[in-house]
Amino acid sequence: MLKDALATAMLGMRGSNGALLVTTKKGTPGQRRISFTAQTGVQQTGKMRQPLNAYDYARLYNEALENDGKAPVYTQAALDAYKNGSDPVAYPDVNWMDQAIKDRSQFSRFNLNVDGGNNIARYFVSLDYMNQDGFLKTTGENSYNTGSNLKRYIFRSNVEVNLSKYLTTSLNLFGHIIQENQPGATTANVLTAIGNTPSNAYAMLNPNGSLGGNQVYLNNIFGQLNRSGYRQGYSRQAFADFSIKRRLDDVVPGLWAKALISFSSMFDQDINRSKTFKVYNWQGGTNYQEFGTSADQVNTTSIASQNRQFYTEGTIGYEKQFGAHHLDVLLLGSKDNLMNSNDLPRNSYQFTSRIAYNYDGRYLLELSGGYSGSEIYAPGSRFGFFPAAGIGWNIAREPFMAGLTWLGELKLRTSYGRTGNANGGYFAYKQYYANGLAGYTFGTTPSTSTDGVAQTTMANPGITWEKADKFNAAIDIALFNDRFTLTAEYYNNRYFDLLQQRGRNSAIMGESFPSENIGIRRYKGVELTATYNGQAGACTT
């Protein structure tokens, strides 16, 4: 996790909120290794709210009315029927939590990894499958699944090849598919209905097998789970990056260059095969009063979201050891092209550098900076500079500490810098207008009007990126061959130019105010991290 300014300055306008670095597995030279893992388990729901039974609900409802000076709605005969369950249709007592929610559900996961290679080529391939059931109870009366569950498929491949003594290339591929299923009424609506439906609202099923209900409660929960059709969500993501690195030791020892091209695509689709149903209030005998509408199952698909991202990066680095002096220099330039759905492409540019120097591992100095910009801001105000600096002193490397063999590291370090966050919305510096937002009357007949063009949210030509000034001071300690490590860190971060809307919006303007860079926040505190790695005894087989 990158948090302080020195670690995130090279991210430019994307550094204020920190960054999480994820390193995937790579193949290592040696004999082919195959590993397979199978997991299965049982999940339990959290503590669920238990509803009142029908008798207690009706009794307390009467009591609440009487406290307000109103007449009760439930007679003593009705209360007795709820209590003894003599007529479960006319006087139902349904615990919808028990009828709709399972106490536990099952999940399973299977993973296959293969890696290996030699000094010329290395590879790592992974396949992963997960199946997770939900907690909704269904009867299985349909030929299709109306319950809630999720299936996920993941593929990953990392290949690295040495094309020559100085030239290395790599190709990384990643893809996943996620399939979700839920009742046609949707899981959210089922849970809402459970919370809003008292136990005595209606019978789950009438004597003739029809769905119970009435004018107030039109959505029978049993019907929502089993007779409302189903909905599916389909999500896929594909990612590929190709890099080539050339060591230039034959030109200048310690010099290298690298080029990277990355592409990713994400697509989310919703499939709706839901249907509606009628509910029936039993009047006795064969008499039923029906409510609601019954319609055939629909079959529609819609794209929930999709995006494409194309990223290119070029890097030049130089690393050299001059006796006790060590120098590491990095120059990087990148372009990021992002397209969301039908939006115009958003291009971001980055030019960054870093210089790190240390003397004998004791005295450390690092300078970094990013000059980055984005097209979401107005021309002439698209680029900003984000510098940072840090120093460190590893006291454990001093000659006068040489006798302390139990001390592996005692380092003091501090950094300060400015970071940014490009959070300017979708070209918010431009004013937009939309059709059909206002009607205009012509002539003497007020009902005769035509659609016009109206202003949407007000533009902010001066909108800019959010900023943060971050200060960090820390001490790192490692003892007993790094078995015990301790890091104590103090941070003081001031976030400013945060985007907010003004507290008061005047109706005279006709539109709400745009987001403006007027917010300020400050975070400061101390973080302590301690770890111990050790082994007691020995294990033999």
pLDDT tens-digit map of 406-427: 888 899 999 999 999 888 778 8
Half-sphere exposure (Cβ direction) of 253: Cα atoms closer than 13 Å:
4
Residue whose C-alpha is closest to residue 195's, from 43, 93, 48, 44: 48
CA–CA distance, 477 with 479 (Å, rounded to integer): 7
Is the Cβ–Cβ distance between 501 and 518 less than 8 Å? Answer: no
The mean of the pLDDT values for the chain is 89
DSSP label at residue 323: T
* The pLDDT value given to residue 541: 42
**Radius of gyration (Cα) for the chain, nearest Å?**
33
Mean pLDDT over residues 469-474, rounded?
A: 93
Enumerate residues 6+ apart whose C-beta is below 8 A from 507: none
- DSSP secondary structure, 390-442, as one string: EEEEEGGGSGGGTT-TTEEEEEEEEEEEEEEE---TTTTTS--EEEEEEEEE-
Mean pLDDT over residues 298-319, rounded?
A: 93
Lowest mean pLDDT among 382-396, 400-414, 458-472, 505-519: 505-519
pLDDT tens-digit map of 129-159: 999 999 999 998 999 999 999 999 999 999 9
Residue 430 has pLDDT above 90, yes or no: no
CA–CA distance, 541 with 535 (Å, rounded to integer): 17
Q: Partners of 500 in the beta sheet?
A: 516
3 state DSSP class of 6: helix
Lowest mean pLDDT among 167-171, 172-176, 331-335, 338-342: 338-342
Element (H, E) at 63: helix 54-67
By DSSP bridging, strand 300-322 and strand 255-274 are antiparallel
pLDDT class of 171 with cuts at 50, 70, 90: very high
Enumerate residues 6+ apart whose C-beta is below 8 A from 264: 237, 238, 239, 240, 308, 309
pLDDT class of 508 with cuts at 50, 70, 90: low
By DSSP bridging, strand 167-183 and strand 229-247 are antiparallel
* The pLDDT value given to residue 2: 72
Half-sphere exposure (Cβ direction) of 149: Cα atoms closer than 13 Å:
16
pLDDT class of 304 with cuts at 50, 70, 90: confident
pLDDT class of 366 with cuts at 50, 70, 90: very high
Is the Cβ–Cβ distance between 23 and 158 less than 8 Å? Answer: no
Enumerate residues 6+ apart whose C-beta is below 8 A from 192: none
The token pair that represents 513 in the structure block: 């105010």
% residues pLDDT > 90 (the chain): 64
* The pLDDT value given to residue 540: 47
* The pLDDT value given to residue 445: 62
Half-sphere exposure (Cβ direction) of 338: Cα atoms closer than 13 Å:
10
Half-sphere exposure (Cβ direction) of 154: Cα atoms closer than 13 Å:
13
* The pLDDT value given to residue 507: 57
* The pLDDT value given to residue 451: 67
* Block residue for tokens 């209606």: 202
- 495 — phi, psi (to 5°)? -100, 130
Mean pLDDT over residues 476-498, rounded?
A: 90
pLDDT tens-digit map of 14-60: 777 777 777 777 878 888 999 999 999 999 888 778 889 999 999 99
Is the Cβ–Cβ distance between 396 and 407 less than 8 Å? Answer: yes
CA–CA distance, 14 with 451 (Å, rounded to integer): 42
pLDDT class of 215 with cuts at 50, 70, 90: very high
CA–CA distance, 59 with 74 (Å, rounded to integer): 8
- Most confident residue range from 219-228, 294-303, 479-488: 219-228
pLDDT tens-digit map of 118-130: 989 999 999 999 9
Q: Partners of 139 in the beta sheet?
A: none
CA–CA distance, 8 with 18 (Å, rounded to integer): 6
